[in-house]
Structure 1
Amino acid sequence: MATIEHSEIINAPPERVFELLRRVEDFADYSDLIRSIETLGENRYRWHVRAVGMDWAFDVMVTEIQPPHVLAWESLDGVKNQGRYRLREVAEGTEVALTLSYEIRNRLMEKAVNKAAKPLVGKVSRQILERVEARLNDQQV
């Protein structure tokens, strides 16, 4: 499995950051690439994403919730993947670390995806965390 990691510091306490990250259905508000997210029930969601010129739809299930420190998920179909947000209190607020692992069984496709995935996931992760922080700042006003 290929793994991509990204982390950012958000100027807010872990409890407030986790509260927003836990609302998976709101992620479409946090990234231009996420078109929509449907709630399927029982911590399951269908994501609709537009990336690398293609539309993608896949189902994920939240597999671990440990407020305010861990939120993890795995795919139920499509590209096999699993991800985890780890939140840790730091002097500046909260360090949010994303680890995303995925597996593509087609070697030719894997090479293409690997080349595009790291910058793409980094961009989406930065966008999500920046918009979460902006929303937290708006709530303080």
Structure 2
Amino acid sequence: MERVEVSTVVYAPPEEVYEFLLAFRQYANYSEHLRSVRQFGDGEPGTEYELTFAWWKLQYTARSEVTEVDPPDRIEWRVTKDIDASGRWLVNPLADDERETDAQGTEVTFVVEYALGSTDDGIVDLPRFVSLGWVVEKIKPKIRAEAERIVRRVVADLEGEERGVELRIETR
């Protein structure tokens, strides 16, 4: 399994961060390649999402489901169609001695785990002479960039303005 993990600090209480992530009202605005999001449910386990992505000459609609929540600490999800992938949002309050300001700090971590080899050649309609392997190699760095972009934009919405955000990024 491949893994991307992006963490940063948000200056908002954990409960506010969790509720924002659970509702995730503007998810399509956070991603360069996500065109639309349809939500079927209230964000709790069993809620399903239909996410339409577009990149280059490709368009794909993924389906995911919230599998578990642990308010206000964790939201787990998995992709339910075409690829073996799952992830989570982790929300952890910072201790008083870890804060850089008087505002309540919360560490937010976005984790995605995926097995690109689990994809089926038929999941997207590829142009002639383009292999799924070529597409997979081109997508890998985009997954990391998208994770970074999403976390930066979540911070801006939660705090009400953009700022330089220090990200901790791990990939495996």
Instruction: Give the TM-score normalised by structure 2.
Output: 0.68
RMSD: 2.5
Matched-pair contact (CA < 8 Å) for 2:90–2:110: yes
What residue number does 1:105 align with? 118
Structure 1: gaps spanning 5 or more residues: none
Letter in 1 for 2:13: P
Residues 1:70 and 2:74 aligned together: yes
After the TM superposition, which residues 126-141 of structure 1 pair with which residues of structure 2 at under 5 Å, given as runs?
A: 126-138=148-160
Q: Aligned-pair distance for 1:98?
A: 2.0
Higher-strand-fraction structure: 1
Matched-pair contact (CA < 8 Å) for 1:25–1:37: no
What residue number does 1:20 align with? 20
What residue number does 2:147 align with? 125
Identity of aligned residues (%): 28
Task: Provide the C-alpha distance between the structure 2 equivalents of 1:53 and 1:11, rounded to a whole number of angstroms.
Answer: 39
Residues 1:116 and 2:120 aligned together: no
Q: In structure 1, the residue corresponding to 2:145 is in which secondary structure?
A: helix
Q: Aligned-pair distance for 1:80?
A: 1.6
Higher-helix-fraction structure: 1
Task: Provide the C-alpha distance between the structure 2 equivalents of 1:26 and 1:130, rounded to a whole number of angstroms.
Answer: 13
Structure 2: gaps spanning 5 or more residues: 100-104, 121-130, 162-172
What residue number does 2:124 align with? none
Letter in 2 for 1:33: H
Q: 1:67 to 1:106 in 2, by over 3 A?
A: closer
Q: In structure 2, the residue corresponding to 1:22 is in which secondary structure?
A: helix
**1:95 alignment partner, one of 93, 96, 107:** 107
Q: Aligned-pair distance for 1:51?
A: 3.2
